[in-house]
């Protein structure tokens, strides 16, 4: 009988307590995924490394009936991730301990089932500073119950690859491992695989294998040919379905369906990256795993809204930082056509300092991280991740680690960057030590127990054993020494972390290894360096979205402000900059700020604004300078107007008076600027192509707040989680972005409250409170529908503007 896969997220109970009373009535009914930390108030007594939110010990329990039946003889629990240090019992029997919080894992529960069952899970997050970013706490990803026959295709043991592709012909290769029941020994096994384009069309390809069962476990290799294949690509993410049927003596005992994207990937040392033999620059962003309001327990709808906005901005790739992604996120990347670099670890043999991002400086219990179990668990965690994620066509690279060099002191010392006698700047300087000097230092400096090169090679061997087709990379913060320490010998593509200034150095000295910017500043100078060098495959900006944490001693700043989007998913100036660089659609976007608080020089006679240091743009870091999206100043004030556009020229108008044209080629930093005296009315930037206005942005001087606009940001017709943008408008329907206000969410019908977020990095307001605040004129609300077959509504109650109600 075919397997049955049940989402196991409902009817759980939760208790946050060190030692629970299993019969008490203070257990809370919840639905998974669940992150208990995000519901708490932010506290300055906690640590900004993990977002000023607490950890603790949480308990989960779930009763369920015995799923074993005449048709299904085996039962498995599949966990996509528990953060972290979890222990799992079924009916009082301890089944599993899982330390690492990001890797998926499977538990065979068959032998421990009774007629009525209780699953109990303890999650120990008392190490609440165990990461350099916000992690969340609890069963924060999906759980599935899978039931099969005793003879079945192994879970995660149906691996697909597409090593042979031409325009007229392709092959899907299938590697399958089957677990056989003892009662099926010496019987005839028949394996049938079909490639299906849609349910309305018959199989495009069929492959079979028949043999006598002689082992408890056996492996098989099938090849499925396809004529004139449709390719999975970033513009056209097309899938085939591979349906695999397992028969014993002509009786169907198992069936699986796997999505498969036919695509080729190739890195070239001279010409960069190719997808399906088409040259492509990686226009990527790095993402941490939190979803703002929802913490680490991110619903599909939240990821879909965020990823869709990034895709519209020209993003074609995601680097998962610095841990394996959720299945939900990978499924969406498959469907949206976003390439993925899936990363395994942030720590290997030695710890990082969670508060300062480099070698360890705090040896306290609360900051003990994943390195503690690396020696015993790394192979298991890497293998589970790779097997679970293998069939996602979006994954085009595996990353074995992130900025690992910080934790091996001899590698840091050998660079020469941190020698007290050196007076350069690490970010912008070439390596002070030559390759021969670095090699000599590595030879003479004291060695640690573990060697970075040997560990890297071990990790890559584990990857290649299961997936010989995808390249292996790592994010190297000290590539000049990684080339010589044995680290780069384990890589197919070396990734640079903030080292664009040595692109030429690496290419000239080590021409055998392709280069990609795995972590790069969200500034024009980074992209300029890439497009000027065909041999650079592309880059990943740090980051696509602002994220919680990495804010040690920065209270009340709880968020790292490096994203193209803020935590509410609202677009920041850097988003529009890279949209102008990464898309061909004409765009124009106006920002303003007072000249009095600017670091620019101005020429009032010609309405010019320009940087005091003409080369300052070349060393801009993560954050954007302060700008506004309004035209509400005092008459006579001189205002800097900045326009981001990909049009060759932009003309600025204020109240139908032109203030001149700026040309994109004349702007070093890709931003066009004016200095103008403020006059109430409207300011308009007209993007010009061939002297014709192609795109226009307008900002008007606003009046008093008049109404509240509620806009649903739907991502599909059947969203369970609903996302609404609340905006404050004046009587002319112009958004008011220079004044903030508060309101109360009221009268919810058929809805559960999730929270609100306005993207402000410096507020300590709890996401879950129902008194909501705008920032720059808007905020995001998030609710969950209780009954999707019924309507829903809610009201916003403002102290001066009154009540505004939304009905579905």
Question: b/e for 465-479, b at 16 or more Cβ within 10 A?
Answer: eebeebbbbbbbbbb
pLDDT recorded at residue 45: 95
Q: How confident is the model at residue 421 (pLDDT cuts 50, 70, 90)?
A: confident
Residues 434-485 pLDDT 10s: 999 999 999 999 999 999 999 999 999 999 999 999 999 999 999 999 999 9
Tens of pLDDT along 73-110? 999 999 999 999 999 999 999 999 999 999 999 999 99
Please choose, from the candidates 134, 136, 288, 292, the residue with its C-alpha nearest in 3D space to the C-alpha of residue 760.
Answer: 292
CA distance 458 to 490: 8
Distances 781 to 41, 223, 275, 548, 806 between C-alpha atoms, Å: 18, 49, 38, 18, 12
Q: CA-CA distances (angstroms) from residue 676 to 63, 610, 679? A: 68, 13, 9
Using pLDDT thresholds of 50, 70 and 90, give the confidence band for residue 70.
Answer: confident
Cβ contacts of 522 within 8 Å, gap of 6 or more: 541, 542, 543, 562, 563, 564, 574, 577, 578, 622
Q: Which residues pair with 735 in a beta bridge?
A: 729
* Most confident by average pLDDT, 21-30, 163-172, 209-218: 163-172
Q: How high is the mean pLDDT of the chain?
A: 95
Does the pLDDT at position 394 exceed 70? Answer: yes
Rounded Cα distance, 457 and 340, in Å: 22
Measured CA to CA in angstroms, residue 716 lies from 241, 302, 447, 707, 803 at distances of 22, 11, 56, 28, 28
In degrees and rounded to multiples of 5, residue 578 shows phi and psi of -75, -25
Per-residue pLDDT averaged across 771-799, rounded? Answer: 95
Q: At what angle do helices 374-389 and 327-336 cross, to 10 degrees?
A: 40
Contact indicator for 696, 685 with CB cutoff of 8 Å: yes
Residue of 412, 414, 416, 410 lying closest to 432 (CA atoms): 416
Give Cβ neighbours of residue 465 (< 8 Å, ≥ 6 apart). Answer: none
Q: What are phi and psi of 620, to 5 degrees?
A: -70, 145
As a whole number of angstroms, the distance between CA 314 and CA 350 comes to: 37
Task: Count CB atoms within 10 A of the CB of residue 366.
Answer: 16
Count other C-beta atoms under 10 Å from residue 557's C-beta: 16
How many whole angstroms separate alpha carbon 124 and alpha carbon 175? 37
Q: How confident is the model at residue 113 (pLDDT cuts 50, 70, 90)?
A: very high
Residue pair 125/163 in contact by the 8 Å Cβ criterion: no
Write out the DSSP string of 106-144. EEE-GGG--SEEEEEEEEEE--TT-SSS----B--S-EE
Q: Which residues of 374-383 are buried (b: 16+ CB within 10 A; e: fewer)?
A: beebbebbbb
Q: DSSP secondary structure string, 441-457?
A: HHHHSPP-SS-HHHHHH
Cα separation, 146 vs 138, in Å, equals: 21
Percentage of the chain surpassing pLDDT 70? 99
Report how far residue 710's alpha carbon sits from residue 706's, in angstroms, rounded to the nearest whole number.
13
Using the predicted structure, report yes or no on whether residue 385 has a pLDDT greater than 90. yes
CATH topology of 152-260 equal to that of 707-807? yes
Q: What is the distance between the alpha carbons of residues 480 and 472, in angstroms, rounded to a whole number?
A: 19
Secondary structure tally for the chain: helices H, strands E: 10, 47
Structure tokens at 676: 């103008």
Which residue from 746, 747, 748, 750 is spatially nearest to 789, judged by alpha carbons?
750
CA neighbor of 455 nearest in space, from 512, 379, 529, 509: 379
Residue 411, SS3 per DSSP: helix
- Nearest alpha-carbon partner for 366 in 88, 102, 49, 81: 49
Quick one: pLDDT at residue 175? 97
3-state secondary structure of 209: strand
Report the distance separating Cα 742 and Cα 798, nearest Å.
Answer: 7
What pLDDT shows up at residue 24?
Answer: 76
Pairing label, strands 494-497, 472-476: parallel
Closest by Cα among 181, 190, 183 to 251 = 190
Q: What does the radius of gyration of the chain's CA atoms come to, in whole angstroms? A: 28
What per-residue confidence (pLDDT) applies to 362? 65
Tell me how far CA of residue 635 lies from CA of 141, 193, 604, in angstroms. 54, 74, 15
Would you say residue 359 has pLDDT above 80?
A: no
Distance of CA 21 to the CA centre of its chain: 38
Per the rule left: phi > 0, alpha: psi between -120 and 50, beta: everything else, 477 is: alpha
Cα–Cα dist 426/382, whole Å: 32
> Do the beta carbons of residue 525 and residue 620 sit within 8 Å?
yes
At 805 the pLDDT is: 96
Q: How far apart are CA 684 and CA 5, in angstroms?
A: 56
* 3-state SS class at 195: strand
- What is the rounded CA–CA span in Å between residue 28 and residue 528? 53
Spatial contact of 681 and 654, defined as CB atoms under 8 Å apart: yes
Under the banding of pLDDT at 50, 70 and 90, the label for residue 200 is low
Q: Are 727 and 708 a contacting pair, CB within 8 Å? A: yes
Cα of 551 vs its chain's centroid, Å: 19
Contact (CB, 8 A) for 218 and 178: yes
> SS3 for 582?
helix
pLDDT band at 424 (very low <50, low <70, confident <90, very high): confident
pLDDT at residue 360 greater than cutoff 70:
no
Question: Is 695 in a helix, a strand, or coil?
Answer: strand
Strand-pairing partners, residue 559, are 548
Give me the pLDDT at residue 607, please: 94
Task: Tell me the per-residue pLDDT of 691-718, one tens digit each, with 9 for 90 and over.
Answer: 887 899 999 999 999 999 999 998 888 8
The partner residues of 729 in beta bridges, in order of sequence, read 707, 735
pLDDT score of 686 more than 80? yes
Give one DSSP letter per residue of 303-327, joined into a string. HHHHHHHHHHTT--EEEE-SSPPPH
| 253-292 residue pLDDT tens | 999 999 999 999 999 999 999 999 999 999 999 999 999 9
Percent of residues, the chain, with pLDDT higher than 90: 88
Which residues is 755 bridged to in the sheet? 782
Q: What pLDDT score was predicted for residue 420?
A: 67
Q: What is the pLDDT of residue 278?
A: 97
Q: What is the distance between the alpha carbons of residues 593 and 673, in angstroms, rounded to a whole number? A: 11
In sequence order, the β-bridge partners of residue 709 are: 727
CATH fold of the domain at 707-807: Immunoglobulin-like (2.60.40)
| Strand runs labelled E in 716-801 | 721-729, 742-749, 751-757, 771-773, 778-785, 793-798
Alpha-carbon dihedral sign for residues 118, 254, 156, 133: negative
Structure tokens at 448: 């640690």
CATH of domain 152-260: 2.60.40.10
Domain boundaries of the chain, sorted by first residue? 152-260, 265-360+374-580, 584-700, 707-807
Q: Which of 293, 763, 313 lies closest to 578, judged by CA?
A: 313
Are residues 567 and 292 in contact, defined by beta-carbon separation less than 8 angstroms? yes
User: Mean pLDDT, to the nearest integer, of 548-555?
Assistant: 94
User: Residue 67: how many CA atoms within 13 Å on its side-chain side?
Assistant: 23
Q: Crossing angle of helices 573-582/524-531, nearest 10°?
A: 20
Residue 608 and residue 602: Cα distance in Å, rounded? 5
Handedness of CA 377, 383, 388, 389 (dihedral sign): positive
Look at residue 187 in the predicted model and tell me its pLDDT: 93
Q: What are phi and psi of 358, to 5 degrees?
A: -125, -145
In CATH terms, 265-360+374-580 corresponds, of 3.90.1310.10, 3.20.20.80, 3.10.180.10, 3.40.50.2300, to: 3.20.20.80
Instruction: Give domain 584-700's CATH architecture.
Output: Sandwich (2.60)
pLDDT band for position 777 (50/70/90)? very high
CB within 8 Å of 376: residues ≥ 6 apart: none
């Amino acid at each position: 009988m075919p397997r049955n896969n049940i989402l196991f997220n409902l009817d759980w109970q939760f208790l946050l307590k060190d030692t629970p009373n299993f019969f008490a009535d203070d257990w809370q009914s919840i639905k998974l995924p669940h992150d208990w930390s995000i519901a708490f108030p932010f506290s300055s007594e906690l640590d900004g490394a993990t977002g000023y939110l607490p950890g603790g010990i949480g308990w989960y329990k779930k009763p369920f009936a015995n799923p074993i039946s005449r048709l299904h003889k085996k039962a498995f629990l599949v966990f996509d991730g528990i953060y972290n240090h979890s222990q799992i019992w079924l009916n009082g029997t301890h089944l599993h301990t899982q330390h690492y919080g990001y890797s998926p894992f499977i538990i065979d529960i068959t032998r421990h089932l009774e007629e009525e069952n209780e699953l109990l899970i303890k999650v120990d997050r008392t190490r609440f500073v165990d990461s350099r970013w916000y992690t969340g706490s609890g069963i924060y990803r999906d759980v599935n119950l899978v039931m099969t026959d005793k003879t079945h295709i192994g879970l995660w043991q149906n691996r697909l690859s597409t090593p042979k592709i031409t325009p007229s012909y392709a092959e899907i290769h299938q590697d399958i491992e089957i677990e056989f029941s003892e009662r099926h020994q010496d019987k005839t096994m028949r394996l049938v695989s079909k490639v299906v384009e849609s349910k309305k069309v018959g199989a495009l390809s069929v492959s079979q294998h028949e043999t006598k069962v002689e082992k408890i476990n056996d492996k098989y290799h099938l090849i499925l040919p396809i004529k004139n294949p449709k390719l999975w690509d970033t513009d056209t993410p097309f899938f085939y379905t591979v349906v695999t049927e397992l028969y014993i003596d002509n009786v169907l005992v198992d069936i699986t369906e796997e999505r498969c994207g036919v695509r080729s990937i190739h890195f070239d040392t001279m010409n960069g990256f190719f997808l399906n033999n088409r040259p492509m620059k990686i226009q990527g962003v790095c993402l941490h795993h939190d979803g703002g309001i929802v913490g680490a327990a991110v619903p599909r709808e939240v990821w879909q809204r965020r990823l869709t906005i990034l895709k519209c901005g020209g993003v074609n790739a995601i680097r998962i930082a610095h841990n394996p992604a959720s299945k939900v996120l990978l499924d969406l990347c498959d469907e949206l056509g976003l390439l993925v670099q899936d990363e395994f670890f942030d720590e290997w043999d030695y710890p990082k300092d969670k508060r300062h991002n480099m070698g360890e400086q705090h040896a306290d219990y609360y900051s003990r991280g994943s390195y503690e179990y690396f020696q015993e668990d790394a192979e298991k965690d890497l293998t589970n991740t790779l097997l679970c994620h293998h069939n996602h066509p979006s994954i085009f690279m595996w990353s074995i680690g992130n900025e690992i060099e910080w934790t091996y002191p001899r590698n840091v010392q050998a660079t020469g960057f941190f020698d007290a006698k050196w007076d350069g700047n690490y970010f912008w300087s070439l390596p002070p030590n030559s390759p021969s000097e670095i090699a000599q230092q590595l030879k003479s400096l004291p060695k640690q127990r573990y060697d970075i090169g040997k560990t890297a090679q071990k990790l890559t061997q584990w990857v290649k054993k299961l997936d010989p087709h995808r390249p292996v990379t790592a994010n190297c913060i000290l590539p000049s020494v990684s080339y010589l320490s044995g680290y780069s010998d384990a890589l197919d593509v070396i990734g640079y972390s903030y080292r664009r200034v040595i692109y030429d150095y690496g290419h000239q000295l080590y021409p055998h290894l392709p280069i990609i910017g795995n972590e790069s500043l969200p500034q024009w100078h980074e992209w300029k360096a890439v497009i000027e060098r065909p041999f650079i495959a592309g880059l990943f900006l740090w980051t696509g979205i602002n994220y919680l944490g990495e804010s040690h001693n920065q209270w009340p700043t709880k968020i790292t402000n490096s994203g193209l989007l803020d935590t509410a998913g609202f677009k920041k100036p850097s988003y529009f900059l890279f949209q102008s660089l990464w898309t061909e659609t004409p765009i124009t976007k106006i920002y303003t700020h007072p000249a009095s608080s600017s670091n620019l020089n101005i020429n009032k006679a010609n309405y010019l604004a320009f940087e005091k240091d003409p080369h300052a743009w070349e060393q801009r870091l993560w954050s954007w300078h302060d700008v506004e999206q309004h035209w509400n100043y005092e008459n006579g004030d001189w205002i800097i107007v900045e326009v981001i556009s990909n049009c060759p020229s932009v003309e600025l108008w204020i109240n139908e008076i032109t203030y001149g044209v700026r040309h994109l080629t004349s702007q070093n930093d890709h931003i066009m600027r004016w200095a103008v005296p403020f006059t109430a009315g409207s300011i308009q930037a007209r993007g010009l192509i061939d002297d014709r206005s192609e795109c226009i942005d307008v900002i008007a001087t606003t009046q008093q707040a008049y109404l509240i606009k509620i806009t649903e940001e739907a991502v599909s017709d059947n969203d369970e989680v609903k996302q609404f943008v609340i905006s404050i408008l004046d009587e002319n329907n112009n958004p008011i972005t220079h004044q903030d206000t508060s309101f109360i969410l009221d009268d919810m019908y058929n809805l559960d409250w999730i929270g609100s977020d306005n993207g402000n990095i410096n507020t300590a307001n709890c996401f879950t409170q129902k008194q909501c605040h705008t920032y720059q004129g808007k905020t995001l609300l998030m609710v969950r529908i209780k009954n999707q077959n019924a309507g829903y509504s809610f009201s916003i109650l403002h102290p001066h503007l009154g009540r505004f109600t939304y009905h579905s």
